[in-house]
Amino acid sequence: MNVHTYEKIWLVAAMVLIVAFIATITYGSVGLGIAMVGDQQPTIEPTELGDDERFGEPRVEQVGENEYEAYVVAQTFSYQPDPIEVPEDSQVTFYVTARDVIHSFSIAGTNVNTMAIPGEIAEMTVEFDEAGEYGIVCNEYCGPDHHNMEGKLHVVSADEFDLTDLSADGPDEVAVGDSVDVDVVVENRQLEDLETTVTLEIGDETVSEEVTVPGGDAVETTLSVDSSALGEGDHDWTVTVDDHDSSGSVTVLEELDDDADGGEDDE
Ligand code: CUA
């Protein structure tokens, strides 16, 4: 059978086009990492996010040498945490859900983009090679302030990055002679143990304590200063752990107005 040369060319061209179409569709559906929200994760009750192990406290935590997980909650009209801070040369898996209505989690200038749907958890793994700052925007109309809904993603150098959190709480007032007890919580969201020093400065007094916080855990401790060393009046205090600090103030009173030691006397 004799097939005309032009006919052969058209046959081949048609085959090539068909193969190219199939390749394009295949690449678009599997090659770009596009997935349906909720494909990889179980559903979640949006009204109970506060009690959820992952979303109760939106955060970034270390799960491998250069691997991190970020738990993000989108809500009208902000993201938690904000900013999200991750180190450079890292691989970060984002888990994103919404508290109220449908939002999106879109890192401007990248192809990171997902819907954030109440009840569903979107999962995306992203590699960050270089330090930089990115904006996070909401692409789904979610209410009157939709256009102002934004967050920040900071990719910082390894030196700058840290996963320590500090909180401290002290009494508002104590009677002179009583001790000023400041409760301190140091949280360590990296894998390695954190060996550090907790320091309380108040007036001219300084007390410190060495602590070891296991990876992925927190320790509570109490630092105390004798209020008679401070004297009556208002005293500001600061607790420091590495680059973190937390402060407050306490009033040392001549005598507290309670009936602990015979309040009857006053009457
Ligand atoms: Cu949230 Cu638009």
Residue 165 makes CB contacts below 8 A (sequence gap 6+) with 185, 186, 187, 189, 218, 244
Q: What is the pLDDT of residues 243-257, one digit of tens each?
A: 899 999 999 988 755
Residue 116 CA, closest ligand 1 atom number: 1
Rounded to 5 degrees, φ, ψ at 21 are: -60, -45
- pTM given for the model: 0.73
| Domains in the chain: ranges and CATH | 46-156 (2.60.40.420), 164-256 (2.60.40.10)
Are 133 and 142 spatial neighbours (Cβ–Cβ below 8 Å)? no
Q: Is 154 in the pocket of ligand 1 (CB under 6 A)?
A: no
**Exposed, middle or buried: residue 149 (CB in 10 Å: 0-12, 13-18, 19+)?**
buried
Residue 139 CA, closest ligand 1 atom number: 2
Q: What is the pLDDT of residues 169-193, one digit of tens each?
A: 999 999 988 999 999 999 998 888 9
Q: Is 142 in the pocket of ligand 1 (CB under 6 A)?
A: yes
Q: Is 75 in the pocket of ligand 1 (CB under 6 A)?
A: no
What number is the average pLDDT over the span 189-209?
A: 90
E-strand spans in the chain?
A: 59-62, 67-75, 78-80, 84-87, 90-98, 103-107, 113-116, 122-128, 132-137, 150-156, 164-169, 173-175, 179-188, 194-202, 205-213, 217-226, 233-241, 244-253
Measure 73 CA to ligand 1 centroid, in angstroms.
Answer: 12
